[in-house]
Amino acid sequence: MSVLVLAEHDNKEIKPSTLNTVTAAAKLGGDVVLLVAGSGCADAGAAAAKIKGVSKVLVADSPAYAHHLAENVAPLVVGLASNYSHVLAPASTYGKNIMPRVAALLDVGQVSDISGIESPDTFVRPIYAGNAMATVQSKDKIKVVTVRSTSFDAAPAEGGSAPVENAAAGNDTGLTQFLRLESQKSERPELTTARIVISGGRGMQAGDNFKMLEAIADKLNAAVGASRAAVDAGFVPNDYQVGQTGKIVAPELYIAVGISGAIQHLAGMKDSKVIVAINKDEEAPIFQVADYGLVADLFKALPELTEELSK
């Protein structure tokens, strides 16, 4: 039995979500083979070889894989899949985009967003925004699975020395063309991997007020997130969103500011180690999951928090 892991990377570096996926793959038993599909991705391939627990790295280097377009990457994975019992990828937008395409081409079902492994064919996954946990068994010969990063520890990025082989790259299908990336560069850590996350909700009242959260984030080296309500209100872009339909985070410390605690938000953060809630409504459901609750007007509490942290 061996497991193929589709690595998420930016051609230079391996994304942290890949490390969590390697841990999940190792739990299944057997060899863990990492596939790095990219363009000019030798650096990422070399980084992949150092990950502890990886038996082999396959590098498929082609302009067709430069932007990880699902139409091009999926056939590559499908071509390799018959040698493996499992194909895994992180349940990030990268994995979510490509893996169902892989599964359908293999004519197998997909098990999405697993949070636990019971046996090589039986997995635990959250359904209904994490309000229920389902144990499911895959009857397919090849198991196609996406992995919830926050549920598995990261494999050490150093310490391994796996051999790197080239995999034959396929053609560009020409179905889809990458135009551009519109992302805001931030000096802060990434939301899904940050040790501390501070999020704002509708209670922030305006996008400008998120500056108060940013000031605290900079002091704590934290990432800034938001509830769906804050995103819907246009305060911040959607890539800030924590919740069922946004990002799943599980930091050491999660600070929820002006967030009432709707089910769909809790689904994205309730596995955090320590949760702090600041809300002026003492009945807000967020307090039911918070380790430390502060009933206060955030416009008064946040400046105080910034000041106290400076001490």
Partner 1 sequence: MKILVPVKRVVDANIKVRVKADGTGVETQNVKMSMNPFCEIAVEQAIRLKEAGKATEIIAVSCGVAQSQETLRTALAMGADRGILVETDVALEPLAIAKLLKAVVEKEQPGLVILGKQAIDNDCNQTGQMLSALLGWSQGTFISKLELGDGTADVTREIDGGLEVIKIKLPAIVTVDLRLNEPRYASLPNIMKAKKKPIETLKPDALGVDVNPRVVTLKVVEPPKRNAGVKVPDVKTLIEKLRNEAKVI
Identify whether the C-beta of residue 44 lies closer than 8 Å to the C-beta of residue 71. Answer: no
Q: How far is the CB of 300 from partner 1 (least distance, A)?
A: 9
Q: How far is the CB of 161 from partner 1 (least distance, A)?
A: 30
Interaction residues for partner 1, span 67-126 (CB under 8 A): 67, 69-71, 74, 92-94, 96-105, 107-113, 122, 126
Label residue 24 exposed, middle or buried (CB < 10 Å: 0-12, 13-18, 19+): buried
Q: Choose the binding region for partner 1 from 44-52, 131-139, 154-162, 197-205 (rule: CB under 8 A).
A: 131-139
Q: How far is the CB of 160 from partner 1 (least distance, A)?
A: 25
Nearest Cα residue to 169 out of 55, 286, 65, 305: 65
Interaction residues for partner 1, span 159-188 (CB under 8 A): 174-184
Q: How far is the CB of 282 from partner 1 (least distance, A)?
A: 8
Out of 239, 250, 280, 299, the only residue in the binding site for partner 1 (CB under 8 A) is 239
Between the two ends of the chain, the Cα-to-Cα distance in Å is: 55
Interaction residues for partner 1, span 198-217 (CB under 8 A): none
66/113 Cα distance (integer angstroms): 25
The β-bridge relationship of strands 122-127 and 116-119 is: antiparallel
Q: Which two tokens stand for residue 205?
A: 């009242």
Number of residues in contact with partner 1 under rule CB under 8 A: 90
Binding mask 27-66 for partner 1 (x = CB under 8 A): ----------------------------------------
163/272 Cα distance (integer angstroms): 36
Binding mask 274-303 for partner 1 (x = CB under 8 A): xxx-----x----xxxxxxxxxx----x--
Identify whether the C-beta of residue 86 lies closer than 8 Å to the C-beta of residue 109. Answer: no
Out of 20, 85, 138, 227, the only residue in the binding site for partner 1 (CB under 8 A) is 138
Identify whether the C-beta of residue 207 lies closer than 8 Å to the C-beta of residue 238. Answer: no
Residue 310 is a binding residue for partner 1 (CB under 8 A)? no
Q: How far is the CB of 92 from partner 1 (least distance, A)?
A: 5
Length of the chain: 311
Nearer to partner 1, 28 or 74 (CB): 74
Nearer to partner 1, 42 or 294 (CB): 294
Nearer to partner 1, 55 or 97 (CB): 97
Q: How far is the CB of 259 from partner 1 (least distance, A)?
A: 15
Q: At what angle do helices 70-81 and 93-106 cross, to 10 degrees?
A: 50
Q: What single DSSP character describes residue 21? A: H
267/257 Cα distance (integer angstroms): 16
